[in-house]
Chains A and B, each alone.
Chain A
Amino acid sequence: MATRADSKRGATVTRLPTARNSDTGEIPRKASFGRRIRKKFRLFSVRAGMDLPFFFLVLTLMVIGLIMLFSSSYAYAYYNYGNSYYFIIRQAGFAVAGIFIMVAISYFDYHHLHKLAIPILLVTYMLLVLVLFMPERNGVRRWIYLGPVNFQPSEIAKFALVLIFAHLISINFKRMSTFRYGVLPYLLILGSIAVLVLLEKHVSATLILVALAGVMLFIGGVQLRWFAIAFGVLGAAVAYIVLFSAKFGYASDRISGWLDPFGTTVDTWQTRQSLMSIGSGGLLGLGLGQSRQKYLYLPEPQNDFIFAVVCEELGFIGALLIVILFAMLVWRGITVSLKAKDKFGMLLGIGLTVQVGLQVILNIAVVTNTIPNTGISLPFFSYGGSSLMILLAEMGVVLSISRTSTIEKT
């Protein structure tokens, strides 16, 4: 594999102008230098430049996200907090801090995460149990409140899951085709986390965790028959829920609301308002800041349904551009990861990138009523300080991985 990557790099080098050759040419030199030093005392190592396209895609999305958050939360913040800047000030603060953290983490050698994988998993378990004893809000317990800082352990769980899977797969890579090393540990970890998250009644997070686990295992080389079995079980579960939907009052209302958002049988206010917002945008949108739906029609427009306001203000063209930016981010993240130095980096990078991609797709699918309504936030856009920080930290990890990647980075 190394030869293949080398040859690729070599090919790239030959294609590129000489001015850039010096950059890429530095890699082995700096890497060897870094490796020498790191072994002794340095936590951070500047082995090579981070991937600039990925970095700027993150920055671009972050900036657009902040602008849209300001626009969408303006009226809601005014009516509920008497201050139109309530959300944007907080979010912008977290974004700035988060970007610093992201850049800092990009200098952090992600290999240290091997050692942190199990501790982080254990902390995650603790938090997931702790959250069940937190005060209830809106009928669910998903948040841990630490004075001014609140966060959702399920966000951390996603990272912990991706990390532990990347860790285990990379060290047991050769035994991935066995049940004992290739399936069982992952099933146990995923199962235990999923059960804890389900206890929060957090279906969407559970879905993402399962999907991420599936992606990690798939890339990691688990035999396809296990996926066949998994899909069979999933299919049966879905069929059971659909056929006996009456038993799941909560879920069945979601489904009938999904099938007929403008009907009168169930309360579909949010979905309905979202569809009206998106539709009102048309091709070119009402213009930045011109959303009407954000005037308290669309509930909490700064959260999961922020993309509806984006569509209303920026139109199909604007929405399409943002989706393309996200797709580019995902593409870049994955290709960068593919060329990571080792399997751990590759799996970790892909896991974290796919997590962003999945959230974007599911979030837009929800606001467009393509799938039933479930709470999934839109990365870089939705309001939420702690989740933004976690997201940017994860992007920092991807950037850290990119430093080892042999991909062309400018």
Chain B
Amino acid sequence: MAKGTTIRMWRRTAFLLAILIIGFAVVVGSLFRLQLVQGEEMQTRAVDQYLKDTSISAKRGTIYDCNMKVLAKSAGVWKVVLEPNYITDDNRELICNGLSQILGLDKADLIERSKKKTYYDVVQNKVETDVKDQIVAFKEENEITNGIRLIPDYKRYYPYGKFASSVLGFTGSDNQGLAGIEAQYDSELTGVPGRLVTAKNAVGTDMPFDYEQMVDAQNGHSLVLTIDEVVQHFLEKYLEEGVANSGTRNRACGIVMDVNTGAILGMAVKGDFDPNDPFTLSDPKEQAAVDALQGEERTKALNEARQKQWRNKCVSDTYYPGSVFKMVTASMGLEEGIISENTSFSCPGYYVVADRRISCWKSGGHGSETFAQGLCNSCNPVFIQVGEKLGPETFFKYFEAFGFTQKTGIDLPGESRSIYYDETMGPVELATESFGQNFSITPIQMITAAAAVANGGYLVQPHVVAQVIDDEGNIVRTTDTTVKRQVISNETSRRVSAMLQETATTGTAKNGYIAGYRVAGKTGTSEKIAEWVAQGKQGEKKYIASYCGYAPADDPQVAMLVFFDEPLPQGGQVFGSAIAGPPFAKAMSEILPYLGVEAKYTEEELAKLDTSTPDVLGKNVQEAQNTLQSAELDVKVYGQGETVLSQVPEPGKSIPKSGCVVLFTDEESTSQTVTVPNLVGLTLSQANSVAANAGINISISGAALTGNNAVSNLQSIPEGSQVPPGTMVTVDFVELDSVE
């Protein structure tokens, strides 16, 4: 036996060597794969972790109204970020304890989060500067250099609260637009976030290969809206009042539009939400209904309620426009020349189409009437016959031309599509569409068509953003008026406007009348038939009350549509014009003078206008009486004195023609009071005599000036109040016509 290596050992060693070589080859293969095949991927991963890439938020653009009043703006806040990888066991307790105290967070949770293997864990968003200062002080006190980061961020503020919220929308936690203008113009408002890239080692101190690169954030563009804060204010005020008075249950909306440019001056939905706090239900009733539920059902109901309050009814809801649409059918008839104002019709209270008897809203019928009167009366048989004469093709041609088949293209998100019959519609469909039933459109489509009727026939594109301006105020873009087409002639437009003015003065739409401003308008009360059918034609029939009009009729400037969804019936009936007319009239009577529309009063109107109370203070009683009588005012004298100590109404205050001025001549008399009587449910003359008997003055608003059947429905000072004699009580009158 040899001492050295045997042959078998040689062989086995060779085999072993081969295995080792294979082992080396395998690891070399791994190196090859990692370094040459996956090298770039690995390098990117590595670079990502030591290049600390800090995003610098861009400031979101401001939203202004047309007069540069700020409607939405962003202000600096801070994002508190935990950097768990830099937190050691030595300072974990300290950091988490400090943060939990300053921010009011759960400490155990923070400790848990501080153990994650990450460099970035957002602890709290939108921290105000005072809280941030506390954190900075805490870090300095305890000499904490790493572990907590404060990143500048922005928070959205809406200084007017709920104001115009349906148009403005709101933003989410990352400043992203989630609804309204904020969503529609999100990319322009957002800007481009900047970056600060620095190389850091694993504990966050700088790496020796210095690298720092700053890319400035580009702040977002600002928007100038067509919305006018003042117009919006009046719209919201009277819309809200209208909702309260009518008991509207499914929200109301209103749009004010410049008829010539399509600029939206005001757009409001009630109930809406506070964009500063969009997730809270603004309607306490809705909140209570949601709170009554549990678990998943509650979550679902809460989501639905939120979606509902965010929904911009003006563009996202569709409805049967009802009689408001008759202004469009009238335009078609005049434009085609198949009727004129004086074409005579007869209304027995119904009209038979294809063996279907379609009723007029007035069961007894309107009898013999001209077309103009038919519009005033909102007589359904008249419009069925106009539709019949037009035929489905022509009717649909105009229907399409007025923009009812397409979205208006307004620069707001969530615009709904309309639902309608096309030119192949049958005679019954044609008949019902002729007076505004059986097809669904959005409020914005309706007012756009009304603007075309008003402005000489031009279908304009509605818009809410007038200008986009950059950070320095330079104009980036201006929205020009887009005229899509001319639908009817100037002539037709003028003639329909004249008829609508008559309708709003003496006809069914007179609740929208405003002295001096020549309102052209039309009411609409539509049944929610589809819903009623869906509930088995049982229970309560629900209605939509709307009013659409514009002024002045001879030179249209501004159109307005208000729309109340499911008002409470009064005495089993819904009086559409009584619900929608007064808010329209009240808002327009403030908006029109604000916009500089000149009032032109007729003789008749002037006669009924209030005058200013003459100043008779300090005068001899007899002299004062003479002055007031020569101004055609009544006088009542209280007290035994010689001279007038005080007067009601005060000098310069308005007083109705032939109102009564009360003069007080001694101290004793000035403390005298009278009781306010009931002034609701009366005709104008009844109200006048009740007021005169009670020794108070009444100021009349609403339809009383022109209406024959106007009845008072509101008084500004409640019955039974003790007031000085001669006090002015405002009484609202509405014309109570039934469903047209």
Contact = CB atoms under 8 A, between A and B. Distances in A.
Interface of A: 1-2, 5, 75, 79, 173-174, 215, 218-221, 262, 267, 269, 275-283, 290, 292-293, 295-297, 311, 315-316, 319-320, 323, 326-327, 330-331, 334, 338-343, 346, 350, 354, 357-358, 360-361, 364-365, 368-370
5 contacts: A262-B45, A278-B35, A280-B39, A358-B20, A365-B27
Interface stretch (B5-13, B190-198, B328-336, B603-611): B5-13
B27 A279 contact: no
Interface stretch (B202-210, B304-312, B683-691): B202-210
Interface of B: 1-10, 12-13, 16-17, 20-21, 23-24, 26-28, 30-36, 38-43, 45-47, 49-50, 117, 199, 201-203, 207-209
Given A174-B1, A278-B34, A1 B24 contact: no
B35 A283 contact: yes
Contacts of B24: 323, 326-327, 357, 360-361
Nearest to A317: B35
A255 to B, nearest CB: 17
Contacts of B36: 282-283, 316
B35 A354 contact: no
B26 A365 contact: yes
Contact of B42 (A75, A278, A290, A370): A278
A346 B50 CA distance: 50
A323 B46 contact: no
Nearest to B42: A279
B4 A279 contact: no
A50 B209 CA distance: 46
Given A215-B16, A346-B4, A282 B9 contact: no
A43 to B, nearest CB: 22
Contacts of A278: 31, 34-35, 42
A192 to B, nearest CB: 25
A278 B2 CA distance: 49
A320 B36 CA distance: 12
Contacts of A357: 20, 23-24
Contact of A279 (B13, B39, B201, B208): B39
Given A282-B35, A316-B32, 12 more contacts: A219-B12, A278-B31, A279-B38, A292-B209, A297-B202, A327-B21, A338-B5, A358-B20, A365-B26, A368-B31, A370-B27, A370-B30
A338 B3 contact: no
A295 B202 contact: yes
A66 B203 CA distance: 26
A123 B10 CA distance: 33
B8 A311 contact: no
Contacts of B12: 218-219, 221
A400 B300 CA distance: 83
B31 A293 contact: no
Task: Report the 7 A-B pairs with minimum CB-CB distance, sorted nearest first.
Answer: A279-B42, A1-B2, A295-B201, A296-B202, A368-B30, A276-B46, A364-B27
A383 B27 CA distance: 22
A296 B5 contact: no
B4 A342 contact: yes
Nearest to B3: A342
Contact of A2 (B2, B42, B43, B49): B2
B14 to A, nearest CB: 9
A370 B26 contact: yes
A49 B285 CA distance: 102
Contacts of A360: 24
A197 B579 CA distance: 92
Contact of A323 (B6, B9, B16, B27): B27
A320 B12 CA distance: 27
Contact of B43 (A280, A346, A368): A280
Contacts of A319: 31, 35
A331 B202 CA distance: 40
B145 to A, nearest CB: 13
A169 B38 CA distance: 47
B50 A297 contact: yes
A1 B13 contact: no
Contacts of A296: 201-203
A368 B35 CA distance: 10
B32 to A, nearest CB: 7
Nearest to B202: A296
Contacts of A369: 30
Contacts of B9: 219-221, 338, 343, 346
A2 B35 contact: no
A364 B31 contact: yes
Contacts of B27: 323, 361, 364-365, 368, 370
B1 to A, nearest CB: 7
Contacts of A292: 46, 50, 199, 207, 209
B37 to A, nearest CB: 9
A320 B32 CA distance: 9
A338 B13 contact: yes
Contacts of B33: 368
A311 B201 CA distance: 19
Contact of A361 (B3, B7, B20): B20
Contacts of A339: 4-5
Contact of A1 (B4, B16, B49): B4
Contacts of B6: 1, 221, 343
B43 A343 contact: no
A133 B472 CA distance: 74
Given A1-B6, A346-B5, A315 B35 contact: yes
A219 B46 contact: no
B201 A341 contact: no
Contacts of A279: 34-35, 38-43, 45-46
A353 to B, nearest CB: 9
